[in-house]
């Protein structure tokens, strides 16, 4: 049961082979057994979860046929969820119980999904390794010495360790795709604006986007059907007709044009990751795809552009943590200014402080034009690169990260090394495009490697089709760590 996909669990519930309460209890037992080692969850509340599960069983008993009623889910601790601690991985919000739920949580609740708990993450989603969490690092279930990736590392580790069939994450510069890749699971970041950011703690608002992490592309499609949708409370939410993201899963891939960006296979890509990606491309060729070379010439500039824009937005977004409205407040202070200073000095971790300083600097008078405005211009060029590339192909394929998961502690002392590992994911967010990670093999050290599929705007169904067909032909996504 614990190895089942979302799709299979939905069938078992419909066939009354299992109840929502039995399912929830089984996953809670698994979390209880594994979490002390993996640290994938920040908050688990057995009674609360079982109460939700009982309500799900009651809904089914009353004749409600919703496919996902009673299916367990884990939520990244960045989504406000009424009555649950929503810490965002920070001491600043360690005492914060959300008074309302994010739009995506409302949608999950309405669909009847049962919350198992709240997953660990880098503080305020800033990081690529989950080592920046106030609650400690998360371990990769495939290799306890390895990072699970970040910032949605708790969500990815939880799915990989089968502590939940599915989890929600967010992706500002790779935080769904990169942990999915490092943990050997499937994750999708939708087109910017497809999933509402209402109630999702803001990091960099023009880049943040929520999405699911699961075992398979099919499960991701089912979850995206729940998560996506217009929401007037997010001014960047797109008013589009509801889509069924499963609609193209079964389409054959004959005639598919796959673009391989020259810049993604150049210097810096580890040989064993390149081997895995080559193998995946060969598999897709067998399924009928043709390969064309494309160019994304400004790829290298995505790192400096992103690490100006994201901190700039973060510095503004995080100004709300002032010790007055909610969250941590210093115990002792002489006056208002000292209260602010002490509160923020105590409440934020060092990476968050670093970003607030960088962001404030690049937005300040005299530097705005040289850094922030310049970065915005580069952002446009990066988006234009993709528009040109998509003139000649349907999807773009490449690695998610230059190497498989590195060791815990390996890069934590060197923020620039950490930033460089985001090279293949950042430009997608700068352009607002959808992209996903699909398990495609293993590195020489046995750690999982994901294939990145980048789609054109609103091409989620096409990407999921490619991923699903790949998963029908391969079994990488069915491999699970021995735990």
Find the catalytic residue in 7, 10, 76, 152: 76
Q: How far apart are CA 475 and CA 293, in angstroms?
A: 27
- Using the contact rule CB under 6 A, the part of the chain among 17-25, 123-131, 270-278, 378-386 near ligand GLN is 123-131
Find the catalytic residue in 10, 152, 175, 216: 175
Tokens 């990751």 locate to: 273
To ligand GLN, the closest distance from the beta carbon of 478 in angstroms equals 27
* 74 contacts 168 by C-beta, under 8 angstroms: yes
Q: Does residue 388 carry a catalytic annotation?
A: no
126 binds ligand GLN (CB under 6 A): yes
Q: Is 258 helix (H, G, I), strand (E, B) or coil?
A: strand
315 binds ligand GLN (CB under 6 A): no
- Using the contact rule CB under 6 A, the part of the chain among 20-28, 172-180, 337-345, 445-453 near ligand GLN is 172-180
Q: Does residue 7 carry a catalytic annotation?
A: no
Nearer to ligand GLN, 173 or 450 (CB): 173
To ligand GLN, the closest distance from the beta carbon of 203 in angstroms equals 6
- Among residues 314, 277, 306, 311, the alpha carbon closest in space to that of 88 is found at 314
128 binds ligand GLN (CB under 6 A): yes
Q: Which of 165, 173, 432, 439 binds ligand GLN (CB under 6 A)?
A: 173
Q: How far is CA 315 from its chain centroid?
A: 21
Residue 291 pairs in a beta bridge with 258
* Contacting residues for 112 by C-beta, under 8 A, at least 6 apart: 56, 59, 64, 66, 68, 69, 70, 71
To ligand GLN, the closest distance from the beta carbon of 38 in angstroms equals 20
To ligand GLN, the closest distance from the beta carbon of 194 in angstroms equals 16
310 binds ligand GLN (CB under 6 A): yes
171 binds ligand GLN (CB under 6 A): yes
- Among residues 256, 275, 257, 280, the alpha carbon closest in space to that of 265 is found at 275
175 binds ligand GLN (CB under 6 A): yes
- Using the contact rule CB under 6 A, the part of the chain among 22-30, 85-93, 165-173, 324-332 near ligand GLN is 165-173
172 binds ligand GLN (CB under 6 A): yes
Q: How far apart are CA 117 and CA 218, in angstroms?
A: 23
Find the catalytic residue in 151, 181, 216, 421: 151
137 binds ligand GLN (CB under 6 A): no
Instruction: Encode burial over 10-23: b for 16+ CB neighbours within 10 A, e otherwise.
Output: bebbeeeeebbbbb
422 binds ligand GLN (CB under 6 A): yes
- Using the contact rule CB under 6 A, the part of the chain among 169-177, 369-377, 378-386, 447-455 near ligand GLN is 169-177
DSSP 127-181: -SSSTT-TT-PPPBTTBTTB---SSSHHHHHHHHTTS-SEEEEE-SSSTTHHHHH
434 binds ligand GLN (CB under 6 A): no
* 199 contacts 100 by C-beta, under 8 angstroms: yes
Neighbours of 377 (CB within 10 A): 11
Q: Site for ligand GLN (CB under 6 A): how many residues?
A: 13
Q: How far apart are CA 59 and CA 55, in angstroms?
A: 6
Q: Does residue 350 carry a catalytic annotation?
A: no
Tokens 């290298």 locate to: 300
Active site residues: 76, 151, 175
Positions in the binding site for ligand GLN (CB under 6 A)? 125-128, 151, 171-175, 203, 310, 422
């Amino acid at each position: 049961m614990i190895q089942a996909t979302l799709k299979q669990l939905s069938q078992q519930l419909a066939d009354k082979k299992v109840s929502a309460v039995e399912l929830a209890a089984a996953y809670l037992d698994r979390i209880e057994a594994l979490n002390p080692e993996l640290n994938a969850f920040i908050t688990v509340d057995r009674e609360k979860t079982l109460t939700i599960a009982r309500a799900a069983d009651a809904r089914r008993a009353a004749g409600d046929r919703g496919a996902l009623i009673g299916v367990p889910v884990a939520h990244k601790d960045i989504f406000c969820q009424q009555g649950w601690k929503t810490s965002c991985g920070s001491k600043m919000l360690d005492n914060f119980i959300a008074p309302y739920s994010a739009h995506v949580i409302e949608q999950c609740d309405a669909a009847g999904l049962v919350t198992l708990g709240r997953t660990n993450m880098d503080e305020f989603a800033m990081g690529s390794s989950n080592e920046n969490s106030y609650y400690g690092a998360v371990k990769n279930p495939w290799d306890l010495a390895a990072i699970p990736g970040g910032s949605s590392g708790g969500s990815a580790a939880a799915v990989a360790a089968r502590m939940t069939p599915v989890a929600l994450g967010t992706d500002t510069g790779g935080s769904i795709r990169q942990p999915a890749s490092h943990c050997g699971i499937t994750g999708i970041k939708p087109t910017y604006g497809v999933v509402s950011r209402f109630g999702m703690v803001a990091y960099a608002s023009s880049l943040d986007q929520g999405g699911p992490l699961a075992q398979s592309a099919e499960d991701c499609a089912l979850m995206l059907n729940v998560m996506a949708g217009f929401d007037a409370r997010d001014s960047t939410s797109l008013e589009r007709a509801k889509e069924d993201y499963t609609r193209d899963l079964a389409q054959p891939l004959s005639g598919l044009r796959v673009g391989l960006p020259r810049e993604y296979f150049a210097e810096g890509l580890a040989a064993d990751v390149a081997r895995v990606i080559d193998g995946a491309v060969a598999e897709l060729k067998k399924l009928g795809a043709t390969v064309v070379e494309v160019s994304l010439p400004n790829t290298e500039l995505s790192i400096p552009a992103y690490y100006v824009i994201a901190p700039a937005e973060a510095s503004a977004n995080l100004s709300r943590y002032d010790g007055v409205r909610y969250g941590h407040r210093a115990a002792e202070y002489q006056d208002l200014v000292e209260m602010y200073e002490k509160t923020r000095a105590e409440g934020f971790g060092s990476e968050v402080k670093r970003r607030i300083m960088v962001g404030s600097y690049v937005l300040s008078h005299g530097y705005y034009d040289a850094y922030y405005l310049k970065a915005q211009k580069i952002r446009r060029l990066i988006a234009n690169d993709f528009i040109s590339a998509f003139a000649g192909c349907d999807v773009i394929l490449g690695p998610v990260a230059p190497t498989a998961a590195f060791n815990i502690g390996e890069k934590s002392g060197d923020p620039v090394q950490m930033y460089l590992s985001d090279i293949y994911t950042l430009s997608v967010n700068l352009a607002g495009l959808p992209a996903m990670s699909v398990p495609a093999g293993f590195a020489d050290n046995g750690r999982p490697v994901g294939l990145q599929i980048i789609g054109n705007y609103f091409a989620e169904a096409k990407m999921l089709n490619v991923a699903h067909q790949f998963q029908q032909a391969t079994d990488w996504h069915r491999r699970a760590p021995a735990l």
